[in-house]
Structure 1
Amino acid sequence: MPLGISRGYEPGRTLLQLPITYIGAAHRARRGDEGSAQLASACEDMASNRPDLAQEKASDARAIFQKRGDLQSISDATRVLMVALADYESRAEALDIGEAHLAELRKTGQRAEEALVLQSLAEVAAFRCRGERRMQAVAWAEEAIGIQKELEDKVFEGYAHLALASALIQKGVKAHQRKHYQKAVKALKAALALFGAVPVPQEDEDTTSFVLARSGEARALHGLASACGRLEDFRTSVNRAREAAAIWQELGFRLEEALELEFLARLQLQLGQFKEGRKSGEEALKIFIGLKISIWQGVTLRTLVKALLRGKKIKEARKLVTRRQALFEEAKDVVGKAAALDATAEVLMAEGQAIEAANLLKEAMKLAKNTQMKDRQLKKYEATMTAEQANFYLQGQKYEEALQTAKSAFHLFEKLQCQVEMATTLSTMVMAHLCLEHPDKALEDTKKAINIYESLNDKKGEGLAWINHCSGLTKMGDFDEAMKVANKARDIFASQKLLIGEGQSLDHLSSLHMTRGDFAKSATCAKRARQIFNEAACFRQEAFMAWAEAEALFGLAQTQAEDFKPDEELPEVCRKAAEAAEEALRLAKEADDELLTMHAMQVVAKTRIMCFRHWEAGPFVEESLEIAQKNNQRMEEASLWLLKAQICICDGEDDKAKENAIKSRDMFEEMGNEQGMEQAREIIDGDYLRQQREQEEMGITAATPMPMMPSESQMYGAGGIGGRTGGPGPGPSPMAPPPAAASAPAAPVAPPKGGPTLQQIEETVQDIAMSLIGSDELQLDSALMDAGLDSLASVEFQNTLTKEFRGVAMPSTLMFDFPTAKEIAQHIKDNFRG
């Protein structure tokens, strides 16, 4: 029976290793040789995911070869035995056997076999071994490369490069440092070149080397897909995985093809390509069913379910897991049943049944005890599934259950000394604390996580922990310290060129600036985050930041253009807010995110009202209201009833306005939102109307109460898209001037001539520089490099200016030719061409 369930699987390990199939084929050809028969059978067991049987047979074969002193066969058996032991979580034993055999080979001078055993040692040590062993894995792989180069064996030299890349990628996984992935990419490209140099055999020639080379090419492409994904270049990652899958299909390697397709499906989900991910997952599942490999059926089933759920195909996902569960039951396949329960839990979460989903994970854990998992494997699986339960509770807003379950998972990981998993579980505890209004405890846990990541030199993890710390500080109202922490996180991510983390940091900075009422800086941070998420191909996050930018610009317009009248030219700041709202709605629809579309339509409606076109706002409000009611978004529904009341006031329908305001007030009261209640009461009590008449008599355009900013936690669950929990919160929302009579739309405004003014350019340059420096103040004539714009940030500064002012040439010596924001702005103005 296969030993795995569906967690902790390592497709990278399988696809980056030197395959042992050629060993099996060579020994199968030796008819009548008992040792070879055993070894060939062991290779078949490994191909069928039976490492327990494989290790017994490889060990027996090795004993037979040792009796007759067949060194090459001993090496073959040793390598197969090492692979089987490593697959069965007996890595220490595998390394001991390999090192002992290496010592023997060094005495006999068997250089070719020495290189292959070195490579096997590197492959075993790269995965799930601690720091010293991972360092040793790199050394072993580099030594193997040197020997193969000396022997002029391009194929095996290429595989030695794969072993090196594998070790480097694993170092990167443990420490999240960009340099390891970059070195891995270099090794993988070297491997590709070596495999590509192997000539196509003629009809009567042996094809073994060529098949190994083509297989190596596919493995190198898989490695590049993995490394590029870690470097957040998801487009390249998908393309490389697709190329690898095509080679596996060409070679007829069904298992490897299926593994690659499952990996491809997950990458496609990362890019938001749900239909493509579903297709890849379905192809992979079909192959795994044919091969009768339960563990991978379970893994692929879960990936496929995620693709269906993200494509809003909940009924199809339910049908799929029900069918697979029945088939596993019929076959009495315990591993399959556990995997199907795991996938079914995902469906239950999509159906809003968090408790039921968590209970299914408990059942899966019980089934795991009836498999052949080793003790440590079983404990790791239990800890992982417990952590998953905690996440389910968190998503289902069962915060107390989430906290207690996460604590249990943390202690399980602590016993196993799984430090990374301990730190990630602390993140779940932090979010639960924040939702339970325990920010002080959240800060305690973020400090623990930061200490763990610092000890591991894990920059990505450290940055994410600082973001969580920022959330806790924001919750406590310590905005100055939260701003410092958000900038610290951003510096960490920027140093590693981790785009997603940098975007998340900017998300927090935008939110914090909004909280302080600094709408211009909020919009600048949101805009930069939007650009970063687009570059990283994270389109849902890009759409979210477009909404954040639109809300910030709307707030800026409220404060800067509150006295303009319907017969006057629409201020530039209002036009920008309206354009940003339209862009946010476009991106939300492209991302196919219903809740985000609802919020984008809200800001579109608000900007239409602000621009004296309230009659155009109505349809957006109505559609948003339907989405809010369907998804039980009570806070947003209350805000939308208030928007409807405002539109009624603009139409002169005071009674209807009061009816809508009463609905809004009652909902705000139910949720304990004082600010919303006060805004609604102004309309219900007629205070707003009286104020409006008084101001009209004085020739002043009155301000209409606008609904509060939507709550990110309502949209995306606790933490929002990057853990954003601060947000604008329930503080005072900006006020918008009401439209004039419905029959008097604002006159079209001619586009400005000559581009932006010098003052506008100076403000933009200043804002971009301040967001990169992390300062709230910057004099126009201050030298930017002296103010804290380092060399790394200056490159980003120049790139951002190039995108902002298209058509203006930015010399590579920009910072030296024009050292201040004022001089840079003048350069842009002098060279602006629109």
Structure 2
Amino acid sequence: MFEPSGRDAARGFAAERAALEPGLSSALPFGDDLAAKYSALAGDGSQGPKSREAAMLLSAAENSLIAEDDISTATSKASQALNLFREAGDANAVADALRLLVNVRAEGEGPKAASDLAIAELQKFSKSGDRRGEASMRLSLAEVAARHPAGDFSGERGVEAFQHARAAVEFFEGSKDARMHGIALLALAHCHMTQAVQHDSRQEIDSALQVAKDAAAAFQRADERRGQAKALHAQAAACAHAEDVDDAVRHGKQALALWRDLGLAQFEGMELRCLAEWLRAADQADEALKMAEAAHKIFEKIGNRRGWEAAAMVSVARAHLEVGAVETAHGMAKDAIRAYESTADEAGEVAAMSLMVDVQLAQDNGSEALGYAERCLEALRALRSRTAEDHKFEASLLHSVAQIHMAQESFDKAATCCKDSVRIFKDAGDDLNANLVLHTLSNVHIGLGEYREAIKAASEARDFFRKRGHKRGHAFSCLQCASAFAARGEHNRGIAMGREASAIFMEEGHQHGTADAQALLGEVYLARGNAKKSMIHAREAREICKELGRSQKELESLFTLTKGSFVVASEGVVPQTAKEKPSAEWDAALALGQEALALARKSESTPSIVAALFSIGQIFVVTKKASEASKIIDEALPLAQEMGDDRAVANLEILTAQMHFIGGEESSAPEPAKRALEIFREKLGDTDGVDACNELIRFVEGGGAMKKADEAVEEGADSGAAGAVAAYEGPAVEDISATISDLALSLMGVESLAGDTPLMDAGLDSLASVEFQNNISKEFKVQLPSTLVFDYPSVNTMTDFLNTSLRQAAGFAIEN
């Protein structure tokens, strides 16, 4: 149940990234239209020769950066212009030239070199009392920090970036320079967005949106249309991160219209590509395809500057994948690889091969995908000049390779790739993605049977996101912890983690995450033997997925519902003969199985079709419908054999043996059971499967009475007595204990906690105890005494107190 699937892990990581990151920056490349301003100055006969020459050089420098992507020429011309303006004594022009030079250096030499230059010049301006120059350098420092974030932006670097941006906003607002005021506001909006991305803060998103609106108003007062377009783009990016796609697209299209009016093709193409990605994330694949194709046409004309043509090509192909045009995407990827190879465009070739990895995965060609991924890594590592983004891309590729190895059950290789990916992300200062990869590493450890390591990796990610206040990251990590605990058999702790994740997702209004949490809770409750509670959660997950159009997740929830319904029916009346009419519970189980089969056929997923057929076949066997079971097996077995799924084949062979037995063909029953035995023993090395087959063979050869289906079918419905439904519907004692223990552990930095150990002695300090008490109160929706930790110092005593309080509040007697 909790075994990892490589393809599912890949989808899960993509979903997390979509939820945790805006995907595309709120800050477009530097460009303040200095070229237009200084071109006019260069043609002004009233200016001195040095000023006119410097103006021409500065105009050419910005054009070299934006239109030609020529950083070397931009650096040279901006430096020459700076020296001439200094000689001419034009302080304002010196500040403009320095700002351009700082941003050029950030692109060419990296953010540290750019910041060092800005700090040195800031000190000079401060010493000379040049407040405008000082404000310009503060603005530059904020721009560089927001465009090239490294590490935790809530740390010293982020705090300084906000201080610089606010100081620049204050100065330019006071100086009545509406254009520069707008630019400073835009830098402040980008700081808020960087903080929002790293901490998943709705408050920061709202701040970014408001500041971007203020920037748009300032640019409008200055009649600065390029600035207005950038401010609209920033608003669109903020809305996209808030998952308000309609407003994101509206603002993006307004910006797009301005870029077109201004004749700025590069910015038009960038905006189109952003719109394509936002629409694709919102499952509007057809519209996304149109935008991506328009962006690609623009970049084909102007060239692959900064890799934008390659990025647009990838957007087009991925949009084709989304609409199901896999062959078209495949052809595009092949053509792109050939084209980039012929032009020696290394960056484009890397992007095209990365796309081919996605295409091969979409075609279920794991080996081909792995080959392209390894070629892509080799090409990436061979790039002559590698930026921090290139290193992050390498880490992402390694993560993709890990997922492919998982799908092929090469878990040792997957673990190595995950660890390398985490290391590279951390070295590049991208702690957020490093911790997302830890989720996959946790799944890899589950595949290796290393459950303690799986819990450790998931808990490390959970601790990182919790400390950052990154709520959705915290929730996704809780889900992974839940999976790891459940795989280890610690179902109570898995349930506690699943509940914590669900509560956070609900609070955040994150429907996808809520569905995932409810689905997992359904699985864990089923594994614990509580089929009725399992069905409650699975039904909730299904309804949300249906509303969201997540057919695959809906199908998984239907499978859980079918298994739960099977268990509930098994606890009632089981037909003893084919003539006996099955109970309503069996009819309900069959109906759910048939719904699952219909959805599986619609999705054209052969593994899902086989799983659904197997579930229906089980029901027919238990209800003594041999002929119906035979038809199901006749369809399912060839499909499983064609897939090469040995476990599915073995399970279907067991079902065949049982079908023969209930149909009165006892002599035919041992042979399929023996075939299943051979598969479990020789191919799968599954001792539990071997034992089950031996027991079944003895049973059918002995001619004894047929056992209950939930006892005889290996890999069946995860049966177990749910017990009588208690009148009291509050949390069970073990659930209360697990929740208290987990909430305490999350604040203490230790891995385990004995039930009778005083929490304060185990490391829960007074500050953490306040948060701990608040979390318990919120989890159980109960008022608690302020002296809780002192009156009930251990998990055991606190569990007894809470159990008593909750039962009394619900009007039930206390269990002795």
Aligned amino acid, residue 222 of structure 1: A
Query: Are the aligned partners of 2:142 and 2:162 in contact in 1 as well (CA < 8 Å)?
Result: yes
**Mean Cα deviation higher: 270-279 or 357-366:** 270-279
Match of 1:220 among 226, 235, 253: 235
Aligned amino acid, residue 86 of structure 2: Q
Match of 2:107 among 87, 109, 125: 87
Q: Report deviation, 1:20.
A: 1.7
Deviations 1:24-65 (A, max 9, x none): 222233446322222222222322433343233223222222
The 1:619/1:432 distance shift into structure 2, 3 A limit, reads same
The CA distance in 2 between the partners of 1:611 and 1:153, in whole Å, is 82
Which residue number corresponds to residue 77 of structure 2?
Answer: 57
Q: Secondary structure at the match of 1:529?
A: helix
Matched ranges for 1:555-704 at <5 A: 555-562=567-574, 571=583, 573-585=585-597, 588=600, 593-606=605-618, 622-625=634-637, 627-644=639-656, 660-669=672-681, 670-674=683-687, 676=689, 687=700, 690-692=703-705, 703=709
The 1:664/1:13 distance shift into structure 2, 3 A limit, reads closer
| Structure 2 gaps, min length 5 | 1-16, 44-51, 740-772, 783-807
Which residue number corresponds to residue 204 of structure 2?
Answer: 180
Query: Are the aligned partners of 1:384 and 1:409 in contact in 2 as well (CA < 8 Å)?
Result: yes
The 1:611/1:146 distance shift into structure 2, 3 A limit, reads farther
Which residue number corresponds to residue 36 of structure 1?
Answer: 55
**Mean Cα deviation higher: 576-585 or 614-623:** 614-623
Aligned amino acid, residue 168 of structure 1: H
Matched ranges for 1:701-740 at <5 A: 703=709, 707-708=713-714
The 1:569/1:402 distance shift into structure 2, 3 A limit, reads closer
> In percent, how many aligned pairs have the same letter?
23
Query: Are the aligned partners of 1:429 and 1:445 in contact in 2 as well (CA < 8 Å)?
Result: yes
Which residue number corresponds to residue 536 of structure 2?
Answer: 524
Match of 2:356 among 341, 344, 357: 344
Deviations 1:665-697 (A, max 9, x none): 44334323455556656765663994558x9xx
Match of 2:298 among 259, 276, 287: 287
The 1:683/1:412 distance shift into structure 2, 3 A limit, reads closer
The 1:612/1:530 distance shift into structure 2, 3 A limit, reads same
Q: Report deviation, 1:608.
A: 6.3
Q: Report deviation, 1:289.
A: 2.2
Are 1:25 and 2:36 an aligned pair? yes
Q: Report deviation, 1:332.
A: 2.0
Which residue number corresponds to residue 742 of structure 2?
Answer: none
Aligned amino acid, residue 194 of structure 2: Q
Matched ranges for 1:533-544 at <5 A: 533=545, 538-544=550-556
Aligned length: 717
The 1:678/1:822 distance shift into structure 2, 3 A limit, reads farther
The CA distance in 2 between the partners of 1:373 and 1:787, in whole Å, is 48
The 1:691/1:343 distance shift into structure 2, 3 A limit, reads same
**Mean Cα deviation higher: 267-276 or 75-84:** 267-276
The 1:276/1:210 distance shift into structure 2, 3 A limit, reads closer
Which residue number corresponds to residue 379 of structure 2?
Answer: 364
Aligned amino acid, residue 172 of structure 1: A
The 1:106/1:323 distance shift into structure 2, 3 A limit, reads same
Query: Are the aligned partners of 2:486 and 2:494 in contact in 1 as well (CA < 8 Å)?
Result: yes
Are 1:335 and 2:350 an aligned pair? no
Which residue number corresponds to residue 122 of structure 1?
Answer: 142
Query: Are the aligned partners of 2:670 and 2:700 in contact in 1 as well (CA < 8 Å)?
Result: no
**Mean Cα deviation higher: 590-599 or 42-51:** 590-599
The 1:239/1:672 distance shift into structure 2, 3 A limit, reads farther
Q: Secondary structure at the match of 1:29?
A: helix
Query: Are the aligned partners of 2:232 and 2:252 in contact in 1 as well (CA < 8 Å)?
Result: no
Aligned amino acid, residue 65 of structure 2: M
Q: Secondary structure at the match of 1:16?
A: coil
The 1:491/1:292 distance shift into structure 2, 3 A limit, reads same
Aligned amino acid, residue 70 of structure 1: D
The CA distance in 2 between the partners of 1:274 and 1:570, in whole Å, is 45
Deviations 1:140-190 (A, max 9, x none): 444455556656777766655543332122112223344333433444455
Q: Report deviation, 1:302.
A: 4.0
Which residue number corresponds to residue 203 of structure 1?
Answer: none
Q: Secondary structure at the match of 1:164?
A: helix
Match of 2:194 among 161, 164, 170: 170
The CA distance in 2 between the partners of 1:399 and 1:279, in whole Å, is 40
Which residue number corresponds to residue 720 of structure 1?
Answer: none
Q: Report deviation, 1:519.
A: 0.8
Query: Are the aligned partners of 1:679 and 1:705 in contact in 2 as well (CA < 8 Å)?
Result: no
Query: Are the aligned partners of 2:530 and 2:720 in contact in 1 as well (CA < 8 Å)?
Result: no
Deviations 1:508-543 (A, max 9, x none): 332221111111111222233344556666553344
Which residue number corresponds to residue 447 of structure 2?
Answer: 435
The 1:135/1:690 distance shift into structure 2, 3 A limit, reads same
Query: Are the aligned partners of 2:531 and 2:564 in contact in 1 as well (CA < 8 Å)?
Result: yes
The CA distance in 1 between the partners of 2:281 and 2:465, in whole Å, is 25
TM-score scaled by structure 1? 0.72
Which residue number corresponds to residue 753 of structure 2?
Answer: none
The 1:74/1:493 distance shift into structure 2, 3 A limit, reads same
The 1:95/1:504 distance shift into structure 2, 3 A limit, reads same
Aligned amino acid, residue 197 of structure 2: V
The CA distance in 2 between the partners of 1:148 and 1:528, in whole Å, is 53
The 1:599/1:448 distance shift into structure 2, 3 A limit, reads same
| Structure 1 gaps, min length 5 | 1-6, 200-206, 696-701, 711-727, 736-758, 779-785, 796-818, 824-834
Q: Report deviation, 1:635.
A: 1.9
Which residue number corresponds to residue 749 of structure 2?
Answer: none
The CA distance in 1 between the partners of 2:22 and 2:58, in whole Å, is 24
Which residue number corresponds to residue 393 of structure 1?
Answer: 405
The CA distance in 1 between the partners of 2:462 and 2:710, in whole Å, is 46
Query: Are the aligned partners of 1:255 and 1:287 in contact in 2 as well (CA < 8 Å)?
Result: yes
The CA distance in 2 between the partners of 1:274 and 1:660, in whole Å, is 46
The 1:603/1:44 distance shift into structure 2, 3 A limit, reads farther
Q: Report deviation, 1:319.
A: 2.8
The CA distance in 1 between the partners of 2:246 and 2:685, in whole Å, is 45
Query: Are the aligned partners of 1:15 and 1:222 in contact in 2 as well (CA < 8 Å)?
Result: yes
Query: Are the aligned partners of 1:399 and 1:436 in contact in 2 as well (CA < 8 Å)?
Result: yes
Aligned amino acid, residue 208 of structure 2: A
Query: Are the aligned partners of 2:534 and 2:564 in contact in 1 as well (CA < 8 Å)?
Result: yes
Query: Are the aligned partners of 2:239 and 2:245 in contact in 1 as well (CA < 8 Å)?
Result: no
